[in-house]
Structure 1
């Protein structure tokens, strides 16, 4: 019986110490991660601003223009319809 009580006391103490360490370390790790993400985002914004001056427009993709033929015979079949009231 004494071994079980000793085990429970040691387990409670170990869990309590782990809980204290997590409460102190976890916020610092999260704060550091957020600061790193914020620094990366501001660095990317500065790089984009440095590449091209403000007010310029850049087009990444421009589709090929197809020549349209004006011949109505090639446009398809047209069906007359009557309006039903």
Structure 2
């Protein structure tokens, strides 16, 4: 019976310590993450404001596929007639 009480007492103390640590550490981690996101947003805003108005920038251009140009390999074209 004494082993069960010791286990429960230790488990309660460990859980209580973990709860206190989470209450102290979690808000600091969240504040740090939001601070980093805010800095990134400000940097992006500064980059956008440095460009003259009306300028266009392309961030990503997909590569052209050579397969799309081969219309001969797509198959035969069949005329469609509507039958009533």
1:58 has 2:29 as partner:
no
> What is the TM-score normalised by the length of structure 1?
0.63
**Counterpart position of 1:24:** 24
Unaligned runs of 5+ in 2: 59-84
CA-based RMSD: 1.6
Unaligned runs of 5+ in 1: 62-85
> What is the TM-score normalised by the length of structure 2?
0.64
1:39 has 2:36 as partner:
no
Which structure 1 residue ranges, 4+ long, deviate > 2 Å from structure 2? Answer: 58-61
| Aligned length, in residue pairs | 58
